[in-house]
Structure 1
């Protein structure tokens, strides 16, 4: 994604992200298996030549299956 500044410990993209993924379900229960997408936030160092990892959030996309639109905030 494009570079955005960190302000008050937050990063706002104000952009819609769309993911296509293949999901599987338990044959016995019909419950979807986890489908994890890791969102990582990194800080550029030395003019973009290196970076430091600030953190990440793991989102289980199977929780959103069947929903038309969802908003999620992560700490």
Structure 2
């Protein structure tokens, strides 16, 4: 549970000022160890986005597409 919350906190940071790319990808990797199912991951993303307005998918994609530094998304 702590790993899931850690990942969601990184997503929030990415929208609220920026988060380190490595930290996002590391927390996502731990998240995927707990939630290996794509369907379950998508459901968590939909639920989280409905509550917060933040997309876990967009943050992970931005982190993967960026070579280094901080990831910052606009809501």
TM-score, normalised via structure 1 length: 0.27
Could you say which structure has the greater relative contact order, defined with CA pairs below 8 angstroms and 6 or more residues apart?
A: 2
TM-score, normalised via structure 2 length: 0.27
Could you say which structure has the higher helix fraction?
2
| Greater Rg over alpha carbons, structure | 1
Could you say which structure has the higher strand fraction?
1
